[in-house]
Structure formats: structure tokens, C-alpha cells
Amino acid sequence: MKPFTFSVLRLLSDGHFRSGEEIAQTLGVSRASVWNALQAAAELGLEIFKVRGRGYCLQQPIEWLDRERILEALGDQAARFQLEICDSVDSTNRQLAQRNIAEGAKGTVLAAELQTQGRGRRGRAWHTGLGGGLAFSLLWRFDQGAGALSGLSLAVGVAMIRALRAAGVDGTELKWPNDVLHNYRKLAGILIEVQGDMLGPSTAVIGIGLNLHLTDATKNLIDQAVVDVRTLTGNAPQRNRLFAQLLGEVAGVLQIFETQGFAALRDEWMAYHAYQGKPVQLLMPDGRKREGEVLGVAEDGSLLVYGDGATQRFASGEISLRPVGMSEGKT
Ligand code: BTN
């Protein structure tokens, strides 16, 4: 989406009506340009009211990401991050991964108002819509090798539950390896991409996507059951505060992970585990299916499943897990 479209939307962000004429005058452009910009935003799923005689208004006011407010809310923790916010990007993970090797400093955070090609696990797309969620990536460098980071996504899941609880979003649970669910509907996802040697050092790009208020148009793009914070709390979430809360909790958990590994967070992860003791079906990367009962997770973050008369460990994040009898679609 063009920078100009963001300028138009920023004028409408308070949720009040503004005429095309007023917007055009403020930005020094023609009314047709304003109309085109709003058309482009509507095509991306943003709901815009147009009322004859009153003008345009966003159905949901947008709280734009604000670097200063986020840093202020982070307080002492702000020094750990180099925070960058952009309007539109293909994927924050892709962007950080591209600069990672040479220049990315530990603690670089890239957040976007809109991702045009957001990436999910297992080759899926990730959709949030403009202003409808949080989408950001954090670059973190580890002395350990890539092999020691197997529990990292689970550790980040713990941070997410802590942040959501602190923000008054209760009843959220974790699904191995890294989904945040509410009543089996997906609220947030984590995508970790690691570069480096098995023996270290290594660098992780930790991508986090959280649904805040998804429009129907965005929900229609998603091929699984989803939920957003607004539905769970009944209120429009405060984006900047929640973002700061998430960053703060992630930093805290990373500090534990760096020194003690996932083992120190395992009990807490298990306390949030949505599928503990449940019969599940595992879909393997090669398409084979297996069934068993989930026993929990090991100290390295592997999933433990009892099936075929033995306890089996699964380490690959490419495995898909679903409760027996529940389809992976929109249930
Ligand atoms: C999943 O559950 O499949 C993982 C979703 C991860 C989405 C986030 S949004 C920010 C970052 N950039 C991306 O392209 N993906 C991650």
C-alpha cells in the first residue's frame, strides 16, 4: 500500500467522519486521489463507511504504532531493543532475516502496520489486516548453536501467555510447538527462523503475530478457526501498551532461556498446555498420520506422545498436531 494511503488513513484514525474535500485540502491533493487511496485500503479489507454529506470514517478507529509510547511503556527494558516501525512490508521476518548476518544488532525489533506477505509455519500465509493485530519480529543472537534453540519457540509462547494475562486476556493456552489458542481457536502464532552453526553462535529471528480485531474480510482469508483479543475482552485492545508488554515479557523469558534453557520454563509451559493428556493425531512432514496421547513436553522442548505401546519424542516444528476427531479447518 502506498505511503499516501497511510496519510489518508491517519487523518481518519480517530473514527470521526471527514469529507473527501477536507482530506484532499489537508494533504494538498485531489479528491480523486483520496478516493483512490481509500479504495486501495478497502481492497485490503479495511472497513470504511461513506455517508453522503458527511464523508468517510473508519469503522474501527486505528491506534497506530507509536515508537515513543512503546519505549515509554517499556521503561527500563527499552534499552534492550532497537525498535523500528514501518507502515507496510512484505514480512517482518523476511526483512530481518535478510539483514541478519551482517548488520542486525541483538534486540532489533521490526514491527509493521501491514504485512503484504506475512509468513506462517509450514509454508502458510499469515494475515492480520491493517491495524488489526500486532506483527513484529525480534532479532536475537545466542552464544549457543542452532541445535540448542529447539525449545525457543516454546519459551516465547510462555512470554506471550504472561503478557496476555497481564493485559487482562485470560483463558489462553499453548499448543505445541508455538500456537497461542483460546478454546482451540488461534489467537497468535510464533515463527522462529534460525541461522548459524550447530555449535554456535546463532541468530534467531523471532516473529510474532497476534490477532487484535480481525475484520470479516481478513477472517475469510484464514483457513483455520481464529479468535481475536477484542472478542475475548469485549474492548478495543491498546496496541502500543500490549506491544510493550509482549516485548518486555519476551526479553525476560529470553534471559532465562539463554542461561538455563527451556528446562527452566517447562513447568510453566505445561501449565498452559491446551492438549495435555488429550488424544491427538500427528501429521508428519511426509504426509503420514500417527495417533497417540500427549504426555507433555521434554526439557529440550520436544513433544512427548504415548502411542504404539511406547513414549515417542517429536522435535520437528514441521509436524502438525490436532485433537482426534477435530478437523484442522474452521471448527
Ligand atoms: C504461525 O502460527 O504459523 C506463525 C505465524 C507468525 C506470524 C508472524 S507476524 C510477524 C512475523 N512476520 C512474518 O512474516 N511472520 C511472523
Q: What is the pLDDT of residues 103-151, one digit of tens each?
A: 778 999 999 999 999 999 888 999 988 888 999 999 999 998 888 898 9
pLDDT band at 92 (very low <50, low <70, confident <90, very high): very high
Structure confidence at residue 331 (pLDDT):
40
Q: Determine the residue of 86, 191, 247 to mutate for testing ligand 1's pocket, defined as the one with the most ligand atoms within 8 A of the Cβ atom.
A: 191
Q: Which residues are catalytic?
A: 121, 186, 322
108: Cβ below 6 Å to ligand 1?
Answer: no
In this structure, which residue's CA is closest to atom 15 in ligand 1? 119
Structure confidence at residue 101 (pLDDT):
62
211: Cβ below 6 Å to ligand 1?
Answer: no
C-alpha distances in angstroms, 157 versus 55, 79, 146, 166?
Answer: 43, 23, 18, 14
Sign, CA dihedral 66-70-73-76, equals: negative
Distance 329 CA to ligand 1 centre (A): 19
Q: For 331, what's the count of Cα atoms within 13 Å in the CB-facing half-sphere?
A: 12
Pick the closest to residue 56 from 12, 26, 5, 3 (CA basis): 12
List pLDDT tens digits, range 167-206.
Answer: 999 999 999 998 999 999 999 999 999 988 888 899 999 9
127: Cβ below 6 Å to ligand 1?
Answer: no
